Amino acid sequence: MRVPMDYASVMARRGEIMRSSVGIDYDKFTTGRIAFDYERMMSETGYALDEVKRIQRESNVGDTPLIELKNLTRLVRHISEPGRGARIFVKDEANNPARSFKDRRASLSVHNALMKGYKGVVAATSGNYGAAVASQAARKNLSCIIVQEVFDSLGFEQPEIAEKGRACEAYGAEVLQLSVGPELFYIFLLVLEETGFFNASLYTPFSVAGIETLGTEIVEQSRTLTGRNPDAIVSTHAGGGITTGTARGAIKAGSPDTLIIGASVDLHGLHMASDRDFNRKSFTTGHTGFGFPFAVWPDRSDVPRNAARVLRYLDRYVTVTQGSVFYITEALAQLEGLERGPAGNTSLTAAFSLAQTMDEDAVLVVNETEYTGAGKHPYAQIAFAKKMGVEVFRGDPTEEKPGKNIIIPLRPEQIEAEDVDLDRLRESYVKNAGKSLGDEALMTAADIEFLCEDTRLSRKRAEELLSENGVSF
């Protein structure tokens, strides 16, 4: 009998398709209605740190330089109170084969696919991860299919995504380009089912284990270069893999007190699934359109249990404006001779502001750089924004309205990282956890314990929030 291919039938088979395409029996880790044993999942399906290092070395991934940004630090000190202005370092991940930190994730996923006997890999991503998977698959002689959301309904393509599609094709991958909408996941499932390839999801334990080396390298390099552990690491934050993996790596390297800070481009008011809004943003990742939803419900990802769980690790979360990131992108090139961008420059923009509040001897690490060029370049993005009716001008960045205008600061003093209230995100998480239970709103003791670990809420506060949301326990 032919297997039905309509939307509803394919969606109904998603659990089965996921199980065979990822090779993980997630049910094994379930300990309650929402609870699962996160650390056991990471240790049983992930790879031990030494093994990750070996696989990455063999794939030419990692061991990237940590560069001190002396001129940007000097500028920070020039506009700070006396005694303030941390030393800023940047982890130059553009030195990986496909030129972003995503190679760390991809190297583990592709290695795992090869070891388990899959003939190819599939990833649903419009970002750097596609190029990373394609590059790693090319080295291992595996087939690779990348499914991308590229166009709005008028056929306009986001220049940054188009550049990433080009890169995937250059590495020999087949690229399926779609317009904005729910069909992305449907097509992705169809491709997985039809090919029997490995789902190189961004959110498996393999993928997150691959990022842990970023955290260990940063801590080790900071010790070598400065004699101390980094005081803070600020990472460009979207789906949360980089924050989670880096934090776990820093802990494994013996630096549990390093502050873990996430930074996203502020895109409030723009809806990622909206056909209209899709092309009114100038950043396709590292923005709040991913950062917030994934923080408040990580399991919205394409695998049943997301290994990236940021509320466990974030000490602080800040946003910066689009115009400020363009300003800092140019400053990095013109003051430090490093043309990089665009996602990595989000954390740099935040660091430029945060460093002003830190002591001069403090070490602030910017996580990380990515390559630039073509559609990723500010000129391409700004030209496209204008074509979409977004106004671009110099002025006060605090007046920026995502989708309406992009305001490039007049002076460096105007660049400011705005704090996000992490408690509000925690509250939303609890609400979503309650909703996930459906009509039977009841949690077990194990669920509450898990909720507290996943959000860093006290038991008392978690129980208060559950009661407010009509959940019994």
Contact residues for ligand PLP, defined by CB under 6 A:
100, 102, 127-128, 236-242, 285-286, 343-344, 370
Q: How many CB atoms lie within 10 A of CB 97?
A: 18
73 or 372: whose CB is closer to ligand PLP? 372
Least distance between ligand PLP and beta carbon 257 (Å): 22
Least distance between ligand PLP and beta carbon 202 (Å): 7
Least distance between ligand PLP and beta carbon 241 (Å): 3
Which tokens belong to 227?
Answer: 């004699």
Q: How many CB atoms lie within 10 A of CB 379?
A: 10
Report DSSP state, residue 472: B
127 or 304: whose CB is closer to ligand PLP? 127
**Cis, peptide link before residue 304, omega less than 30° from 0:** no
251 or 362: whose CB is closer to ligand PLP? 251
Least distance between ligand PLP and beta carbon 320 (Å): 13
Greatest alpha-carbon span in the chain: 76
**183 touches 1 (CB < 8 A):** no
Q: Say how far apart CA 8 and CA 227 lie, in whole Å.
A: 58
77 or 91: whose CB is closer to ligand PLP? 91
∠ CA 219-222-225 to the nearest 5 degrees? 155
Least distance between ligand PLP and beta carbon 99 (Å): 9
- What are the angstrom distances between the C-alpha of 226 and each of 69, 77, 223? 13, 18, 5
Q: How many CB atoms lie within 10 A of CB 71?
A: 15
Q: Say how far apart CA 13 and CA 78 lie, in whole Å.
A: 59
Least distance between ligand PLP and beta carbon 246 (Å): 9
Least distance between ligand PLP and beta carbon 175 (Å): 17
127 or 289: whose CB is closer to ligand PLP? 127
231 or 370: whose CB is closer to ligand PLP? 370
Give the DSSP letter string of 224-249.
HHHSS--SEEEEE-SSSHHHHHHHHH
Least distance between ligand PLP and beta carbon 105 (Å): 8
258 or 367: whose CB is closer to ligand PLP? 367
56 or 128: whose CB is closer to ligand PLP? 128
Least distance between ligand PLP and beta carbon 435 (Å): 24
For residue 260, the number of C-alpha atoms closer than 13 Å in the C-beta half-sphere is 25
Least distance between ligand PLP and beta carbon 369 (Å): 8
Which tokens belong to 183?
Answer: 């069909």
The residue with its CB nearest to ligand PLP is 241
241 or 434: whose CB is closer to ligand PLP? 241
**438 touches 409 (CB < 8 A):** no
Burial (0-12, 13-18, 19+ Cβ within 10 Å), 467: exposed
118 or 317: whose CB is closer to ligand PLP? 317
Q: Say how far apart CA 242 and CA 211 lie, in whole Å.
A: 6
- What are the angstrom distances between the C-alpha of 422 and each of 36, 411, 426? 23, 29, 6
Report DSSP state, residue 303: S
Q: Say how far apart CA 393 and CA 318 lie, in whole Å.
A: 24
- Strand-pair category, 418-419 with 316-320: antiparallel
75 or 365: whose CB is closer to ligand PLP? 365
Least distance between ligand PLP and beta carbon 395 (Å): 27
150 pairs with which residues across the strands?
Answer: none
